[in-house]
Amino acid sequence: MSDKSRKTFLMIIFLCVLFILVWVSDKFLDEYTMRVIRTGLIYIIAAISYNLINGIAGQFSLGPNGFMALGGYMVALLMLPLEQKKFVWFLKPLIWPFNSFSFTKAFFPLAIFFGGMAGALGALVVGFPTLRLRGDYLAIATFGFSQIIIVLANNLISVTNGALGIKGVPEYANIYWCLAWAIITVLFTTNLANSSYGRAMKSIRDDEIAAESMGISIFKHKLLAFVVSGFFAGVSGGLMTSLITTISPSLFSFTMTFNLLIIIVLGGLGSITGSVITAFAFAILSELLRFVESPINLGPIYIPGIAGMRMLVFSFLLVVLMIFYRRGIFGEKELSWDWVLSRFGSKNHQGVKVCPGKTEHF
């Protein structure tokens, strides 16, 4: 078997095993655990989309929560049943065309796709004027954008129902949809990052002036990374909204961006597999660490429950990691079949060989 077909074969087996695993856990695990897993999968999508713009194209954006909010509201507006819409918008009526239709369950993937398109459109609109900026300036501009989205969400009552939010979005984001979108995101982004376009983005990250002098249109490729990133951020926002069945401006506040930033920096900027692992770990840890926010009795010492203590743990982790592993757990590397095979597989396989055009392997 050739190297390539072996990897395809392994990939198919891996996906089958993953599917069976999910099917089994869906059957036997309780609702709470499944929710954590679904949240983890959604975090994976959001983190990869953020890593594309920050780690691969090297543009420091602080706006993913804005794109997620766009996707979330789009999905809420499309999926909310009509009678629920009349019930939710009691302050001001919902604007046309959303007041005249709603998607049935069968169209849920389409609604998520439209959520992604909303995020992509938002990225296009924001990226056009701001991507001429570099470094800190871009970060400030995208931060401003995400704040604008939250302010709009609070005040455009006839679309977003303001701070009250939209309640009663059907919970169609089951484990299979979350998994399917996560797989699509991983495969699409990996392929894009390893393609000629991905190389162009990485060249811009490494040296903008040199990239431009090698015939790369800087603006076009930054915008491309931004729009693709916006699409998947929108998808993750849509899934998240459907998972927790409500959306309000506070759901996609700047804390979301901060969480994602922790995830991609911990996983390694530019490493997609790194983002997958840390995003999933982040979702699980967020639940496991709930105990630090409850009152703790340590013999003579009594610590009252402090909300937000979990973030302190993550921030501490980030500080420690920045001191000892400045480039994140994975650096820029990817967990690959080559590495897996060299560890566990046939002895004649050269695990450390670097494939042309691919990212470095372990």
Partner 1 sequence: MSWKNGAFLALDKVSLNFGGLLAVSDFDFILRQGELVGLIGPNGAGKTTVFNIITGQYEPVRGRVFFKGQDITGWRPDRVTCAGIARTFQNMRLFGGLTVLDNVLVSRHSKLKSSVLAAAFNFPGYIKEEREAKIKAMGLLDRLGLADLAHMRAGNLPYGQQRRVEIARALAADPKVLLLDEPAAGMNPEETIRLMEFISGVRNEFGLTIFLIEHDMKLVMGICERIHVIDYGISIAEGTPKEIQDDPKVISAYLGEEACDYS
Within 300-339, which residues bind partner 1 (CB under 8 A)? Answer: 332
- Give the range of 33-41, 153-161, 195-203, 340-348 binding partner 1 by CB under 8 A: 195-203
Q: Is there binding between residue 83 and partner 1 (CB under 8 A)?
A: no
- Give the range of 213-221, 239-247, 274-282, 341-349 binding partner 1 by CB under 8 A: 213-221
- For the bound state, the minimum distance from the C-beta of residue 193 to partner 1, rounded and expressed in Å, comes to 9
* Cα 209 to Cα 218: distance, rounded to the nearest angstrom: 9
Nearer to partner 1, 85 or 202 (CB): 202
CA 311 to chain centre: 18
Query: Residue 165: left (phi > 0), alpha (psi -120 to 50), or beta?
Result: left
- For the bound state, the minimum distance from the C-beta of residue 218 to partner 1, rounded and expressed in Å, comes to 7
Q: Is there binding between residue 26 and partner 1 (CB under 8 A)?
A: no
- For the bound state, the minimum distance from the C-beta of residue 120 to partner 1, rounded and expressed in Å, comes to 12
Q: Is there binding between residue 211 and partner 1 (CB under 8 A)?
A: yes
Q: Is there binding between residue 212 and partner 1 (CB under 8 A)?
A: yes
Q: Which of 200, 264, 265, 341 binds partner 1 (CB under 8 A)?
A: 200
Give the bridge partners for 301, in sequence order: 298
Torsions phi, psi for 52 (to 5 deg): -60, -45
Q: Which of 25, 104, 155, 191 binds partner 1 (CB under 8 A)?
A: 191
CA distances from 216 to 123, 138, 192 (A): 21, 20, 16
Within 8 A by CB and 6+ apart from 293, the residues are 305, 306, 307, 308, 309, 310
Q: Is there binding between residue 202 and partner 1 (CB under 8 A)?
A: yes
Q: Which of 2, 5, 100, 196 binds partner 1 (CB under 8 A)?
A: 196
Q: Which of 19, 60, 143, 197 binds partner 1 (CB under 8 A)?
A: 197
Q: Is there binding between residue 188 and partner 1 (CB under 8 A)?
A: yes
Q: Is there binding between residue 357 and partner 1 (CB under 8 A)?
A: yes
**289: exposed, middle or buried (Cβ count in 10 Å: 0-12, 13-18, 19+):** middle
Q: Which of 54, 142, 203, 286 binds partner 1 (CB under 8 A)?
A: 203
* Cα 252 to Cα 118: distance, rounded to the nearest angstrom: 15
* Residue 356 identity: P
DSSP assignment letter at 253: S
* Cα 247 to Cα 245: distance, rounded to the nearest angstrom: 7
Binding-site residue total for partner 1 (CB under 8 A)? 31
Sign of CA dihedral 257, 98, 35, 249: positive
Tokens of 246: 């409500």
* Cα 170 to Cα 158: distance, rounded to the nearest angstrom: 20
- For the bound state, the minimum distance from the C-beta of residue 125 to partner 1, rounded and expressed in Å, comes to 19
Which spans of this chain sit near partner 1 (rule: CB under 8 A)? 188, 191-192, 195-197, 199-200, 202-203, 205-207, 209-218, 224, 228, 270, 332, 354, 356-357, 360
